Structure 1
Amino acid sequence: MKRFERILVKLIVIQFIVLIFSQLLIQQSAIQPYLSRVVQYEGVNKITITEWLETFSQ
């Protein structure tokens, strides 16, 4: 049973590290256009900040 618990803890730690790495990767602005195709489909990837804010204020 101890062997199983050690393996389980190692898997949990590895999963946590992968989660943190993927979250950091998603937040990189240079990589976001390659990860999120929805922005390209919606046509809002060249919108300015003021236009973006106007969209949410209406």
Structure 2
Amino acid sequence: MKTVEKYIYKFVILHLIFLIIGQYLISKETLAPYLNKIVYYEGVMKDQYSEIIETMNR
């Protein structure tokens, strides 16, 4: 049982290290557009200007 616990501790520590590295990379503003693809879905990275269409609300 000691060998299994040893591997579980190593697994948990390794995942904690990866979590800290991942959170650090996502928090950097210069790397965020390359790591987080949601900005492409929202249209933030587009260089095109779209015409605004106004509608009448009643």
Give the TM-score, by structure 2 length.
0.67
Q: What runs of 5+ residues in structure 1 fail to find an aligned partner?
A: 47-58
> Between the two proteins, what is the percent identity of the paired residues?
41
Query: CA-atom RMSD, angstroms?
Result: 1.6
Q: Which has the higher helix share?
A: 1
Q: State how many pairs are aligned.
A: 46
1 CA distance for matches of 2:25 and 2:6? 29
Larger Rg: 2
| Superposition misfits of 4+ residues, deviation over 4 angstroms | none
Q: Structure 2, unaligned stretches of length 5 or more? A: 47-58
